[in-house]
Chains A and B, each alone.
Chain A
Amino acid sequence: MKEFAELIKTLDGTNKTNRKVDALTAYFKEVSDKDKVWTIALLSHRRPPRPVNTTLMRSWAAEWATIPYWLFEESYHIVGDLAETIALIVPTTTNNSTKALSSYLEEIIALKPRTEEEKKAYLIENWKQMDYYQRFVFNKLITGGFRIGVSQKLMTRALSRATGVDEDILAYRLMGNWDPSSVSFKQLVEEENEADFLSKPYPFFLAYALEGPLEKLGNPNEWYVEHKWDGIRAQLIVRKRNIFIWSRGEELVTDKYPELHQLADLLPDGTVLDGELLPFPNGQIGSFNEMQTRIGRKKVSKALMKKIPVIIKAYDLLEWEGKDIRQLGYRKRREHLEAVLKPLLENSTLPIAVSPALQFNSWDEVAQEREKSRELRSEGLMLKRANSPYEVGRKKGNWWKWKVDPLTIDAVLTYAMRGHGRRSNLFTDYTFALWDTNAEGKRELVTFAKAYSGLTDAEFRKIDSWIKKNTVDRFGPVRQVTPHHVFEIAFEGIAWSKRHKSGVATRFPRMRRWRQDKPIDEANTLDDLKQLIPMSGDSTTNGNN
């Protein structure tokens, strides 16, 4: 633990990538194999299930620090991170724990079934024995979410340096489902393991947003164009008649989509597809809003599955006849993909489709195709070089995404909350409203979206100080402010929604511009927003209006 806390402290103390990689490499060379495995797990977002309810943790920390609970809560809102707040607030010690990181994790795993009293005693006992950084790390192990400015990519690079194993091979070995409490470092990092291989996905190839004019990409004939579907990126694996579905976040989501399980018997053995999981109500692509009703559920009811069935729209083939074909060119992989899926596509009731790979003679035609995106319910286009291999991670050059311009509307700032992480202690999370006419015929502001990104740090600072001076009411961490500022809000998609007070849900709303030139009277109305909803709408909730 001491070494791990030191590592986190060092990583915390620099913005330089090289220094981070050096520190990680040195750490991987120094610590025990068991600690290495756990470190890899934690830095790739694999953590033990949370053993303690965080509300209890908060009250115990307040009690141990002998401060009232409300004061703990206020501090938490300002610090913006629970593990950090607790580490700061409980009584200071300079004690140093010598117990290994892996031992702590074993204890934390064993803690889950214990009684509340035992959990409380365990936490307080440990808070007593650790210095600030150890307490912080310990709390993070319990509350989860190790976001410390070290990406998985960076961690893999350091591990590669420490072990001499190639970075791409490591990225592949570290994917999928492995249990840090049972796997050994050797098995995880150094050995090819047949049994693990069955469910193992490939690292996803990710695209950057297009930079510069299309013409720079060269001859359009050397490129394929696909629509960029707005669902969940996924790999579907069929090996030895087993099916596995992995989301891009490396989460195994097979159980969430039972309608796809039949593909285990229909796709040839040794097939790995890359594609998009999409909601498909009434035989057409639905909105992301509808997809969300499926993402959250582990157990899917028959009714929901009937109302919002999910399909996979495949666009790439990574494994064919049991062989890794990622090094083949895109055109060749697509040929294999279409051949593999051909027999399945003859049956239109199966939950699988191919995303068409289009070719154009001019970039103008490509641009025209992009204009069709909203109508087709895509987010824009993907451009893929015909002879490109399937690479590892986010790379420039062979794949580009070219999204449609977002929809925009001018809305009024009505509420604000403090941000988290690097924006803790600043009011950066805002609620926006549009004008509407209520039942009595009066004009009022109706909340329609929350947004917390898109402004510069300098703008955030200005608005933060304005908010502090123009608060009219407080509801816990939320401040109601005088309606005064208008912002242009950009968003990717829009659909009817029963869950939103405004009746409308927007996808990925963010601030595009601070309209200091606009008085609030000139902000848009809710009706203006509704005009932006595609006519086809969501069949499930249409007619609400």
Chain B
Amino acid sequence: MKKPLLQFTDRGIYCGQADVFLDPWKPVNKAIISHGHADHSRWGHKKYISQNSNIPIVKHRLGDISISGKEWGETFSINGVKFSLHPAGHIIGSSQIRVEYKGEVWVFSGDYKIENDGFTTAFEPVQCNTFITECTFGLPAFKWRPQEEVFQGINSWWAQNRAEGLTSVLFGYSLGKAQRLLKFLDPGIGPIYTHAAVENMTEVLRQQVDFPETNLITRDTKTQEIKGSLVLAPPSAHGSTWLKRMVPYVTATASGWMAFRGARRRRAIDKGFVLSDHCDWDGLLQAIDATGANQIICTHGYTDIFSRFLREKGFDARTEATLYEGESGEVNSSAEQQQDKLENAE
């Protein structure tokens, strides 16, 4: 029997014919990187290939690496295998990786969402035979509301807090979520302050996107000055002494996990906004249908449940173990903490 086009190895997803890895979690010679989150773009590969708009992000995170950039849809061949990158809509520069060899097409989606958030290049379905999908929120209990509605909620929460003399501390992953929040916060309500991890990453992305003005909180920032403003911080700042300066404040987290009351209560956060850069249940099913693929491989999230459902629907679906973590901040936030550490160190 011939070897499958992509194999799951202990280093990552491997294309033997091209001798290249997709989002590997151990150092390799050549890696194609779907996007800049820490669990997908790791340290120590000899050569990186990624979409152009992802390059500033990974360079910011990983330093001076050898990386070559590609345009959306640009085809490049390695030993007869045709590769191309297509928008995944997850965060800026996030790609699905299309792999074609002798007429067979596989697509590795990395992380993705199908809702157009208005500033990340929107997800494009890519026809394929085999679709490798995440299913971070692969349960029918996850249903997102349109982002306009969520941002209305966030902005009116801020306005109300401000009216009561309280500072609003909003937690979101420093790459991706923080910028999406920033993009749609209403600067007419008041000034927006940032934690260093958020500020540094946002600064990198300002080359590509127009964001409202932010003020970095430093040692010299006065409590009185912050009062009533909105502070964007990574989830790891919750419970830290850094927050003391914001007193009196209220907290909120924007994450898909906030759909569950228990998840919010467990973290002792005041308010939860359900906002994710991943697909909800219907989104995943819609994306899978649009690929026309029959073979589906689930990599991270509620993989067992989701693949069983797909099998019952007639797909040839299975689960493969990877070290990807989906939307962190819930079960295991080590990737996020690593990333925050990295960014705080800079």
Contacts and interface: CB of A to CB of B under 8 A. Distances in A.
Contacts of A457: 266
A75 B268 CA distance: 23
Given A464-B331, A465-B331, A88 B141 contact: yes
A71 B262 contact: no
Contact of B260 (A71, A89, A424, A468): A424
Contacts of A15: 268-270
Contacts of A14: 250, 270-271
A68 B269 CA distance: 34
Interface in A196-224: none
A78 B330 CA distance: 13
A283 interface: no
B141 A85 contact: yes
Contacts of A80: 260, 262
B12 to A, nearest CB: 18
Interface string A13-52: 1111000000000000000000000000000000000000
Interface string B261-300: 1110110111110000000000000000000000000000
Nearest to A87: B141
Q: What interface size band does chain B fall in? A: 20 to 34
Contacts of A426: 266, 331
Interface in A252-302: none
A79 B140 CA distance: 11
B331 to A, nearest CB: 6
A71 B331 contact: no
A87 to B, nearest CB: 9
B141 A425 contact: no
A425 B330 contact: yes
Contact of B265 (A74, A89, A149): A149
A488 interface: no
Contact of A422 (B259, B262, B312, B330): B262
Interface string A71-91: 110110011110011001100
A522 interface: no
B68 to A, nearest CB: 36
Interface residues of A, number: 36
A92 B140 contact: no
A2 interface: no
Nearest to B149: A94
Interface string A417-435: 0011111111000000000
B49 interface: no
Contacts of B308: 70
A192 interface: no
B270 to A, nearest CB: 5
15 contacts: A13-B157, A16-B250, A65-B140, A74-B139, A78-B139, A88-B142, A88-B259, A149-B265, A419-B262, A421-B261, A421-B262, A422-B265, A425-B262, A426-B266, A461-B332
Interface of B: 139-143, 157, 250, 259-263, 265-266, 268-272, 302, 305, 308-309, 312, 330-332
Interface of A: 12-16, 65, 67-68, 70-72, 74-75, 78-81, 84-85, 88-89, 92, 149, 419-426, 457, 461, 464-465, 468
Given A75-B140, A85-B141, A88-B141, 17 more contacts: A13-B271, A13-B272, A15-B270, A68-B312, A70-B308, A74-B139, A74-B305, A78-B141, A80-B260, A88-B142, A89-B141, A420-B262, A422-B265, A424-B260, A424-B261, A424-B263, A425-B260
6 smallest CB-CB distances across A and B, nearest first, come from A424-B262, A422-B265, A88-B141, A422-B266, A13-B271, A75-B141
